[in-house]
Amino acid sequence: MTPPILEARGLSKSFAGMVALDNLSFSVNEGEIAGLIGPNGSGKSTVVNLISGVLVPTSGQVVMRGQDVTGAPAHQMARRGVARTFQMIRLFGTLSVEDNIALALQQKEGPGYVSSFFRTPAARRQRAAAGVTAREMLKLFDLEEKASDLAADLSIGQRRMVELARGLASEPTVFILDEPAAGLAPHNVDRLIEMIRRMRDEFGVTILLVEHVMRVVQSVCDRVVVLDYGQKIADGPPAEVVNQPEVIEAYIGLGRGKNA
Amino acid sequence: MVSDLVLLPQFLTNGLVIGSGYVLVAVGLTLIFGILHIVNFAHGEFYMLGGFAAVLGSQLLGLPALPTLLVVAVVMAAFGLVVERVVFRPLGGKDPTNAIIASFGLSVLLQNLMLKTVGAEPMAVKSGFAPGAIQIGNVFITAERIAIVAAMAVIVAALLLVLRYTWTGRALRSLSENPTVALISGVNVRRVSLITFVIGSVLAGLSGALMSTVFMVQPNSGALIVMKAFIIVVVAGMGSIEGAIIVGLALGLIESLVAGYMGNELRDIVGFLIVILVLAVRPQGLFGLKTERS
Amino acid sequence: MRTPLILLLTTAIACALPAVLESGYFINVAIIALIYVILASSLDIMMGWTGKFSFAHAAFFGIGAYTAAMMQRSFGTDLWAHLPAGMAAAALFGVLLGLPSLRLQGHFLAIMSIAFQTVVYLVLAQWTDLTGGHYGLPVEVSPELGNVSTFYFVTLGCTLVACLFVWFLTQSRFGDTLTAIRDDETLARTIGMDTNVIKIVAFAISSALAGGAGVLMAHHIRGVTPNDYTVMTSATIVAMVVLGGRGKFWGPIVGALILTILPEVLSDLAEYKHIMYGALLIFMIMVMPQGVVGALTGRKAK
């Protein structure tokens, strides 16, 4: 069997003495939609930031395809194929929607700043190709008519779709979605579920879905890892996991699980 | 080396006096910058205006020391009020860089306005104290210098009491910890911001008035002092009043020792080297808490 | 590609100025205006495009100028040697200021830059053996550049090259990357941009152009004194960028031209120019923060 695409091995992180994550291990296999769930404050966002290189773990390892990438900065993780979205949507507000995506997918082709400055034919071709790919992506997400709008001018639902298009366009090895349903209206959540499935089924993208809206997790995930107080309390298919007493306790026991 | 050590108490005394002036300016700035997050590059001009307000009181109106300080406090409170209402409040909440540029403009405006109206000649503030230095051991010190240290101690003590025991003080501290929570729990953020800005402005003005009895005042008096105040606030850690007191006194002492033992021309550079070092190594300041967040 | 053509056309028209302006005085004003065009355009790489504040631009301006004066004193070199050396020296100091600033956000960088500006001023004013102290150093201009019209053409050429460089830079992928850093630095890193390297390079380029402007200035006024490179000079350059419009190619150019020519035209007001700059900064920020050019062109995607 091939090694998992992404592995967390004994990851721990503390902030000023507060333990946010305690010895967490889990893995994500190629072509899988893995869920990472848990109540607010259970350490989900910390996991995302550790894997995407925003934070450095206090101890433990992040391993991609058997290679230790612990502590690599965010831009290097991106070049290794980790794409992500943000709980609070992040786009370049003063750039057009198309440029937002084109910029992301230009990063893998190496610097090219000098040839871009001199407007060499190769640089122009590359830029034009990025634009074409960006528009194809937007078409997939039904946003092609918004391509030249400023990213700041779109609605929340549209902005979320642009984030997905940006990540997908960069042909990620693993695509981390950080609470993508946050702030979305119900019909947009349906659309989100559909697009997450299509990204995997049609493009073969491996997805790590961090979420606390159970409806999303249960309908798309092959497997879920459950966190509580920085520790893993369950790991398995969604239907089984939700019936485990620890999970019920974590979500319902303290009345914290209004979304469960 | 013997003669060098003989001068040490004198250098330390000089440093204490200058440090006291820094403390007042820096404590005012840490309220405005550290708590309200307003980058006010014109804070040094508040110091300078305080000096000129004292010239007005002591020279033109012929007032004695305490009433002169009262005049300075009233003038600077009114000035701070106007500046907060007219410049900083309308800019608040939007792009914070706009306030940086606006305060930079205010600094340039005030400096050159004073240059045109009163000229570049340094002016002295009359303290009304008997001239001549008092000798204590090996140390010579004038009455004005003693008064600066004493006034600083009294003013800072009063401020700490206000912050601890009044409603405004408590509101201010809650504002510094978490503006959103403060807002939710009924603190009138606008009013507290205004009062804080006014207090900061009065402190800068009082410092300018006190220091001008010894060092005189001219339109560009505030230019270097504001930078040192920023240095103190940043090195101490944003919003840390106790830190500003310690670092302010320390900077005065260090500068005085550097000037005494290494040469006067190096005095002003030391502080800037310290801040560049501290910012590079410990961006949150010596007394600030590290806030790494996920 | 319309903008570079307009720029070339404007330069062609500007070539006729010495013939029209009979008085050497006005040509001198024009030279100063061009030098400030370089300064404002280069500052805008940081301020407008990258969204990082620097109030130390006059320090880099001064480092370029003093490099010229000190090289001439020691080696007897001329303008053509000073230009690359002054730019390199300024770039080096730009990197020196940039490195510790990498971790700093917004207002800390502004404070750091003013601290740097102050240190440079104090060194220029007080290290008398090296810099001539408050009296500064003289700079001699080689005979073939001695004519004011000739020097005007040299300055015009340098300005054209600098402006074209800024245009190509900001319209390239590098410019897109700077905009990305300005909009959201965390996101820029997350999509794979090495923002630290980009910021340092941007800082070095911006400083180098200011250094080049300093070399021109030193030759134009035939000497250097520390008081030409104070925080007030930085304030003036910031005012030009803000007046014209941040992050717009024509913004800083228009701002620089207005603020150098206006005080000369209203010569009665010249002594109040710093008061005007101060008031203007406050006024523009409160009423028209996007600047004159920004207000005219409006907000639109590139």
How far apart CA B172 and CA B179 sit, in angstroms, is 9
How many inter-chain contacts (A to B, CB under 8 Å) are there?
Answer: 13
| CATH assignment at residue A240 | 3.40.50.300
Give a yes or no: residue A240 inside a domain. yes
Tell which wins on pLDDT, A88 or B240: A88
Please state which of the ranges A196-210, B21-35, B171-185, C235-249 shows the lowest mean pLDDT. Answer: B171-185
Q: Determine the pLDDT at residue A111.
A: 53
User: Least CB-CB distance to A117: which of C168, C182, C301?
Assistant: C168
pLDDT tens digit at each of 302 positions of chain C? 688 888 888 888 888 887 777 777 888 889 999 999 999 999 999 988 888 888 899 999 999 999 999 999 999 899 999 999 999 999 999 998 888 777 776 677 777 888 888 889 989 998 888 898 889 899 888 888 888 888 999 999 999 999 999 999 998 888 989 999 988 988 999 998 888 999 999 999 999 999 999 999 999 999 999 999 988 888 889 889 988 998 899 999 999 998 888 877 776 777 787 888 888 888 888 888 888 888 888 654 33
Quick one: what percent of chain B has pLDDT higher than 90? Answer: 25
> Domain for residue A205, yes or no?
yes
**CATH ID of B2-281, from 3.30.1360, 1.10.3470, 2.40.128, 3.40.120:** 1.10.3470
Q: Which residues in chain A have Cβ-Cβ distances shorter than 8 Å to B289?
A: 16
| A57 and A179 belong to one structural domain | yes
Reply yes or no on whether the pLDDT at A109 is more than 70: no
Residues A247 and A197 in one domain: yes
Contact of C252 with C44, CB cutoff 8 Å: yes
Range of the domain at A105: 95-159
Give the percent of chain A with pLDDT over 70.
94
Cβ pair A16:B289 closer than 8 A: yes
Least confident of A111-120, A175-184, C182-191, C225-234: A111-120
Check whether residue A178 and residue A76 sit in a common domain.
yes
Is B294–A45 a contact, with Cβ atoms under 8 angstroms apart?
A: yes
What is the per-residue pLDDT for A63?
92
Tens of pLDDT, residue by residue over B195-226, are 889 999 999 999 999 888 888 888 888 888 88
Q: Which residues contact A203 (CB under 8 A, 6 or more apart)?
A: A168
Nearest partner of B40 among B54, B52, B26, judged by Cα: B26
Q: Do C184 and A116 touch (CB under 8 A)?
A: no
Contact list in B for residue C57 (CB cut-off 8 A) is: none
Q: What are phi and psi of A205, to 5 degrees?
A: -80, 135
Q: What is the 3-state secondary structure (H, E, C) of chain A?
A: CCCCCEEEEEEEEEECCEEEEEEEEEEECCCCEEEEECCCCCCHHHHHHHHCCCCCCCEEEEEECCEECCCCCHHHHHHCCEEECCCCCCCCCCCEHHHHHHHHHHHHHCCCHHHHHCCCHHHHHHHHHHHHHHHHHHHHCCCHHHCCCEHHHCCHHHHHHHHHHHHHHCCCCEEEEECCCCCCCHHHHHHHHHHHHHHHHHHCCEEEEECCCHHHHHHHCCEEEEEECCEEEEEECHHHHCCCHHHHHHHHHCCCCCCC
Best residue of C103, C165, C173, C179 to probe chain A, by most A CBs closer than 10 Å = C173
Least confident of B52-61, B110-119, B278-287: B278-287
Residue C137: phi and psi, rounded to 5, are: -130, 150
How confident is the model at residue B291, as a pLDDT? 45
**A234 contact B CB<8A:** no
Please report which helix (H) or strand (E) contains residue B142, including its range.
Answer: strand B139-142
Q: CA of B81 to nearest chain C CA: how many angstroms apart?
A: 17
Tell me how close the Cα of B287 comes to any Cα of chain A, in angstroms. 15
pLDDT band for position B119 (cuts 50, 70, 90): confident
Q: List all chains that touch chain C, counting a touch as 3 or more CB pairs closer than 8 Å.
A: A, B
A260 assigned to some structural domain: no
Domains contained in chain A, number:
2
Contact A55 B289 (CB under 8 A): no
Rounded to whole angstroms, the Cα distance separating B53 from A121 reads 67
Domain boundary among A118, A135, A159: A159
CB-based contact C301 A170, cutoff 8 Å: no
Q: Are C137 and C131 in contact (CB under 8 A)?
A: yes
**pLDDT per residue as tens digits for the range A83-102:** 999 988 999 988 999 999 99
Count of Cβ atoms closer than 10 Å to residue A213 Cβ: 18
Q: Which chains border A (3 or more CB–CB pairs < 8 Å)?
A: B, C
Q: What is the interface pTM, i.e. ipTM, of the complex?
A: 0.86
A137 found inside a domain: yes
Which two tokens mark B289?
A: 């808490």
What does the CA dihedral C70, C71, C74, C76 come to, rounded to 10 degrees?
-130
Q: Does residue A20 belong to the interface with chain B, where contact is any CB pair within 8 Å?
A: yes
Tell me which chain B residues have a C-beta less than 8 angstroms from the C-beta of A20: 294
CA distance B243 to chain C (A): 18
In chain B, what residues touch A45 (CB-CB under 8 Å)?
294
Which chain B residue's Cα is nearest to A15?
A: B292
Sheet holding A59-64, edge to edge: A18-28, A6-15, A59-64, A67-68
Adjacent-strand bridge partners of A34: A208, A223
Instruction: Among C227, C282, C288, pick the best mutation site for testing chain B contact (most B Cβ within 10 A).
Output: C282
Residues of B in contact with C108 (CB under 8 A): 234, 279, 283
Both A74 and A176 in a single domain? Answer: yes
Per-residue DSSP letter, B266: G
Indicate if A177 and A77 belong to the same structural domain.
yes
